[in-house]
Amino acid sequence: MRSDYKLMILLGIIALVISFGLWGYFNVVKPSYLSVVSVCSDNGLEILEDAGYMVTGFFDSSSGNITIDETYADEQTIKHERIHQKQMEQGRFYGCRYPVAKFVNELEAYLFQWF
pLDDT band, residue 67 (cuts 50/70/90):
confident
Here the contacts of 101-108 (C-beta below 8 Å, separation 24 or greater) are 102/36, 102/39, 102/40, 103/32, 103/33, 103/36, 106/31, 106/32, 106/33, 106/35, 106/36, 107/28, 107/29, 107/32, 108/83
- What was the pLDDT predicted at 108? 94
- What was the pLDDT predicted at 16? 97
- On whether the CB atoms of residues 34 and 53 are closer than 8 A, the answer is yes
* Domain definitions of the chain by residue range: 2-112
Q: Which residue has the higher pLDDT, 48 or 63?
A: 48
Whether the model pTM is above 0.85: no
Alpha carbon 11 to chain centroid distance?
29
Per-residue pLDDT tens digits for 4-61? 889 999 999 999 999 999 999 999 999 999 999 988 888 888 888 888 887 778 777 7
pLDDT band, residue 74 (cuts 50/70/90):
confident
